[in-house]
Amino acid sequence: MHRLFDNRNTLGLLFMLPAAALLLVFLTYPLGLGVWLGFTDAKVGRPGEWVGLENYVYLWGDSVTRLALFNTLLYTVVASVLKFFLGLWLAILLNQHLPFKSFFRAAILLPYIVPTALSAIAFWWIFDAQFSIISWVLTKFGLIDRYIDFLGDPWNARWSVIAANVWRGVPFVAITLLAGLQTISPSLYEAAAIDGASGWQRFWHVTLPLLTPIIAVVMTFSVLFTFTDFQLIYVITRGGPLNSTHLMATLSFQRAIPGGALGEGAAIAIAMVPFLLAAILFSYFGLQRRAWQQGATDR
Amino acid sequence: MTTPATDSRGMGYLESLPRRAVMVYLPLGVFVFVLLFPFYWMAVTTFKPNAELLSREGNPFWVIEPTLAHIEKLLFQTSYPQWMWNTVVVSVVSTFTSLAASVLAAYAIERLRFRGAKQTGLAIFLAYLVPPSILFIPLATIVFKLGLFDTRWALILTYPTFLVPFCTWLLMGYFRTIPYELEECALIDGASRWQILVKIILPLAVPGLISAGIFAFTLSWNEFIYALTFISSSEVKTVPVGVVTELVEGDVYHWGSLMAGALLGSLPVAILYSFFVEHYVSGMTGAVKE
């Protein structure tokens, strides 16, 4: 008996058991079940029959689903680009010699750690049509004469939720990129300076190439979580006005849970998978090529 | 631009004070203001009487006659205290369950190196990338079949789907930094693997355990889509879901109590975070860097 527990394979399997059981039952199995549900006409309280690609054919012709796909792509691309540039900028600012640096770093991460559903309510209030503080300030400065209808107009609503998403995502990008910046040795900058490189050239030829691997990882996470975002939209607009802010995730929820069409909802959710895989593969191969160009000695 | 000679001290090009003010302090100030303003706004709204909230006169950035009416309403006329308790129970239990499972898994993958350990590690990482918004529909049917619908168990058992991959991945990184020699010595002295894990590895991995624990706790506290889907009775709801679904009544929004609910629901994680900032940051960056 004692001998058996010293065998690394037996013991390894034993140690893996709790985690593996949890993940197989509540992650792997539901993932497969989700794929299956997407091919059925399951409703709440009624197991579905196999209908083949019917859900997907229907969704492809459904104007709301197409709009949701467009919204999701717009939301992901615009928010990710903004998060990247603002996050990188903030990381560079925080990498300077500053008084109260650790205070700044701690304060900046707050939007990321408080519950998104709750900060989204604050944004809902900030974007209120009658009492918006943004409108109040702009009116005081005489920049506008009527309060902005942030969430009532389709394009205003899209930009508003993108702004809220960027607000929530910038701290994560900034703090992880800051960790990357801190690993770059100052002697590299000194060497570049001796060679006569300007500040911009040092950023472009020293900072950026060394930061690329971590940028790729951070932005992959950022894109994945933006593409599958649910809370912000659900709380601030519920997909409105006129479905103009519905994302794939919120539409899938609406069709499946209040709407009861589990099969259709699952099909919308599964339709997100190819996009996620594409993002992961893009970053994986982008990263590989980069590592190879740099000689890839460290891994 | 600047000449190389004046430039040899690293970021020297930002040294002159007026220039530094414009290039560093001004943008940094704007960033901090924008990132923190919603919290300030939450707090101000929480203590504002309704008359001030609904008036466009005066200075909205300050409270003239602070009131506790909104907080009082929240604590005594809604199920808010119950939601708070539910959130605490669900977060604590799922965090500790996940930590225990993750410690064993990470040790097995990183140190026992059983056959297939490498592939298992990769699978754990891939599990980390599966977003909840893809899983919630099939999970809802499973939760229903298991008879867990509308119970706290539904959340306690499903939260590990995102906590275990994250914690395992993080702890694998920590275990990797502990020298093998320590373990070899203990093995020669006749210690069993279990003794090694409990008496040598775990004490050395305490910072990693704190990072993983804090992070897991915040993730559970903030979870929304599962709690929204699997729970329907008010007595079982968590804070984020309770505030969003129950405090919004009809067309008149009670902004005061909504903001009070958001503020009080954010405070526990914010306070916990303020005590463990370094652990939190190293958990976040560690999970990305590996």
Q: Is A196 part of a structural domain of the chain?
A: yes
Is A280:A220 a contact under the CB 8 Å cutoff? yes
By Cβ distance, the residue of A8, A89, A214 closest to B114 is: A8
SS3 B39: helix
- A121, A130, A139: which to substitute to probe chain B, counting the most B Cβ within 10 Å? A121
pLDDT tens digits along B39-97: 999 999 999 888 888 777 777 888 888 889 889 888 998 899 999 999 999 999 999 99
Asked if the C-beta of B89 comes within 8 angstroms of chain A's C-beta atoms, the answer is no
Residue B111, pLDDT score: 87
Beta bridge partners of A46: A43
For residues A4 and B211, the model is more confident at: B211
Q: What's CA B17's distance to the chain center, in Å? A: 38
Report residue A228 as tokens.
């599958």
Report residue B9 as tokens.
């001290």
A-chain CB neighbours of B262 within 8 Å are 118-119, 121-122
* Bond into A241 cis (ω within 30): yes
> Burial of B250 by CB count in 10 Å (0-12 exposed, 13-18 middle, 19+ buried)?
exposed
Residue B8, pLDDT score: 41
CB contact under 8 A, B273 and A30: no
B112 secondary structure, DSSP code? I
pLDDT tens digits along A37-73: 999 998 887 888 899 898 999 999 999 999 999 999 9
Q: Is A45 part of a structural domain of the chain?
A: no
Q: Is A163 part of a structural domain of the chain?
A: yes
By Cβ distance, the residue of B104, B193, B284 closest to A176 is: B284
CB contact under 8 A, A26 and B134: no
Is B227:B238 a contact under the CB 8 Å cutoff? yes
The Cα–Cα gap between B256 and A13 comes to 53
A-chain CB neighbours of B42 within 8 Å are 122
Q: Is A13 part of a structural domain of the chain?
A: no
Q: Which domain holds residue A71?
A: 63-293
B-chain CB neighbours of A86 within 8 Å are 31
The Cα–Cα gap between B94 and A237 comes to 30
What percent of the residues of chain A are helix, what percent strand, and what percent coil, each to the nearest 5?
Answer: 75, 0, 25
| Domain B79-289 belongs in CATH node 1.10.3720.10 | yes
B6 falls in which pLDDT band (50, 70, 90)? very low
Domain definitions of chain B by residue range: 14-67, 79-289
A-chain CB neighbours of B165 within 8 Å are 23
pLDDT tens digits along A178-204: 988 988 888 888 888 888 888 888 888
Residue positions counted in chain B: 290
CB contact under 8 A, B262 and A5: no
A48 secondary structure, DSSP code? P
Residue B15, pLDDT score: 59
Phi, psi of A265 (to 5 degrees): -60, -45
Conformation bin of residue A243: beta by default, left when phi > 0, alpha when psi is -120 to 50: left
Q: Is A10 part of a structural domain of the chain?
A: no
Beta-carbon count within 10 A of A185 CB: 10
Is the alpha carbon torsion for B212, B213, B217, B220 positive or negative? positive
Shortest CA gap B244–chain A (Å): 7
CB contact under 8 A, B42 and A131: no
The Cα–Cα gap between B93 and B96 comes to 5
Give chain B's mean pLDDT: 87
A-chain CB neighbours of B53 within 8 Å are 131
pLDDT tens digits along A11-33: 888 999 999 999 999 999 999 99
- Give the mean pLDDT of B165-176: 91
- B11, B36, B133: which to substitute to probe chain A, counting the most A Cβ within 10 Å? B133
Residue B281, pLDDT score: 82
Shortest CA gap B261–chain A (Å): 8
Report the percent of chain B where pLDDT is more than 70.
Answer: 92
Q: Is A30 part of a structural domain of the chain?
A: no
Report residue B117 as tokens.
């350990």
A272 secondary structure, DSSP code? T
The Cα–Cα gap between B148 and A2 comes to 39
- Give the mean pLDDT of B127-152: 93
A56-60, A80-84, A167-171, A208-212: the lowest-pLDDT one? A208-212
B-chain CB neighbours of A116 within 8 Å are 222, 224, 240
Return the CATH number at A115: 1.10.3720.10
The Cα–Cα gap between A271 and A25 comes to 22
Q: Is the pLDDT of residue A244 over 90?
A: yes
The Cα–Cα gap between B76 and B237 comes to 17
- Residue B180 identity (one-letter amino acid): Y
SS3 B150: coil
Report the percent of chain A where pLDDT is more than 90.
Answer: 55
Q: Is A244 part of a structural domain of the chain?
A: yes
Is B215:A172 a contact under the CB 8 Å cutoff? no
Q: Is A273 part of a structural domain of the chain?
A: yes
For residues B80 and B20, the model is more confident at: B80
Number of structural domains chain A divides into: 1
